[in-house]
Structure 1
């Protein structure tokens, strides 16, 4: 009897604690619901409606059009489909290059500044992190100056005996540039295409202009991810490294078989954040080129903005946003599956 009374008492206490917890977090839940969930639901309605941007999207003059906005983007051979295919092509190469490069560079910098024998580690950490806290608009303006035709980068290339390109005015893909240098030219019309973009253009690689943005992204984001790796490295006990050293492991073997596996949770975080940030790239494009030259720096995020706010195609703009959301979720799930703990999944 006493045991049952004690159980009921503990249950009542835990129940009151749960209620108190919900009361404390209710303001945050309401704020998130008001400023996050409601706008997402409104955007979902806009993506399947013919809202023109005037009045309320729930007004009597707004009608449901189903998947017409999505269909216009992914099929039909319209300009909207070709623009989306071009934006997707540009962003795919942006992701494929930026995510591995910024991850490798941030890990290298973290290992470098985490070494106890390095003097002035605080200075180097601050110096490497500083570009990450600088305004992206300011960095973009600086990049436009550095990579201009008569900018510092081309002057350095000239001193080395080369000739730099007109970075932000060159729409050629770097793969096509490399192939053209050895005399390989693509077909005038490759026939088959995907999302309005020919397969030859899909294989062009990022444009010269997008390559400059790729370098800028690696420069500005590596410092943030470096801090994450530093925190993870400092959480690894010294006795683990000492045990590996006692077993005769070399420096590379300790890093490969001891340090790197223990960094897997942080590595997953860095790759996920990098993946999301790369697919959402917008402000650099808006300030720098606004999709030019010849739409070779156009991205889905900027295309969504341009379709809605400039072309007044609000339904298509919202539809592009949700397609982009789906792409990010799919890639994040693939990444999670790839980096899963294989022993725990058995």
Structure 2
């Protein structure tokens, strides 16, 4: 009897297969038409000499291999230098934004998760509000604050810092702090992607630093909610056990709370990293890459190469190089935050002890 029931249940599960595919077919078709097909066409454009007129699949479009990729990575011309500048700018952007927004969002989540805090709903709403505001509106307001007659310059003038054009300084903040020295020969004499290593180490410009602060201000609220949801899933008995063992507040956070936040931390770091390497609208509506290309990003450079310079192949190639960069960093991040198997470490220690 039990065998018959199991077979009947198995048959019913097999019969659900066609019905499941039927229900998911509309979504598959929509994603295929509006996501997969455009991506494949863009990939073809990156290997072609398409001029932007007509269909990329028209007979007149020729296959040029990796010429577009070579032009932006090893061509030795303006295309390579522009791509190198964009990668340097975005590297500093991601290097500063991801840790700052992660640390701030985690701190805010710990703050609003405290039971003794009065008005927690108000603070949660206040911290999250910048995340739901239009990025274009925030960018315009932010640039107004940093303009020549803006509030930032007015406050700086009160403390004796008079320099209304400091926002237009093209040098990096590291070079500005050092007095814009020429740099050693071993750093200025060699380059990567058409940009000298001395310029790679210059840091973000003042304008890019302002955009970095704006990104941290507008995104921390969203990631605060992710951390807050993870914190509320941690049982209070773990913290109580730490208190009974005499652990300090920092020890309880580092040894108990933070390991429990590993999945949320991976999500926040991954989303933050992807968002940093895809920054476009703030540049397009704000600085247009200025001053002196110090706020150009690969996403904006891809748009400019394709729609302004009509170099559609190079624009598509920049996009796919950027995609590869995001995938590599995401995989590396996943490897760093992976779950370590404690039993395997114990076995390795026992094996080493037995050999000794």
1:102–1:222 contact (8 Å) kept in structure 2: yes
Relative to structure 2, which stretch is displaced further, 187-196 or 91-100?
187-196
Question: What is the aligned partner in structure 2 of residue 171 from structure 1?
Answer: 170
Question: What is the aligned partner in structure 1 of residue 156 from structure 2?
Answer: 157
CA drift of 1:345 comes to 9.4
SS at match of 1:186: coil
Question: What is the aligned partner in structure 2 of residue 265 from structure 1?
Answer: 263
Deviation digits for residues 253-300 of structure 1, max 9, x if unmatched? 111111011001000000000000000000000011111111110000
Question: What is the aligned partner in structure 2 of residue 31 from structure 1?
Answer: 30
CA drift of 1:342 comes to 1.3
Once residues 67 and 204 of structure 1 are traced to their aligned partners in structure 2, the CA distance between those partners, rounded to angstroms, is 31
Alignment of 1:1-346 (within 5 A): 2=1, 4-163=3-162, 166-180=165-179, 184-186=181-183, 190-343=188-341, 346=344
Cα distance change, pair 185–67 in 1 and its aligned pair in 2 (3 A): closer
Deviation digits for residues 153-190 of structure 1, max 9, x if unmatched? 12222223334563541111001011118xx4426992
Once residues 345 and 28 of structure 1 are traced to their aligned partners in structure 2, the CA distance between those partners, rounded to angstroms, is 42
SS at match of 1:180: coil
Deviation digits for residues 58-86 of structure 1, max 9, x if unmatched? 00110111101001010121110000000
Once residues 246 and 143 of structure 1 are traced to their aligned partners in structure 2, the CA distance between those partners, rounded to angstroms, is 48
Once residues 70 and 112 of structure 2 are traced to their aligned partners in structure 1, the CA distance between those partners, rounded to angstroms, is 51
CA drift of 1:150 comes to 2.1
Mind listing any 5+ residue stretches in structure 1 that lack a counterpart? Answer: none
TM-score, length of structure 2 as denominator length: 0.93
- Root-mean-square deviation (CA, aligned residues, Å) is 1.6
Deviation digits for residues 208-230 of structure 1, max 9, x if unmatched? 11101101000000000001011
CA drift of 1:30 comes to 1.1
TM-score, length of structure 1 as denominator length: 0.95
SS at match of 1:342: coil
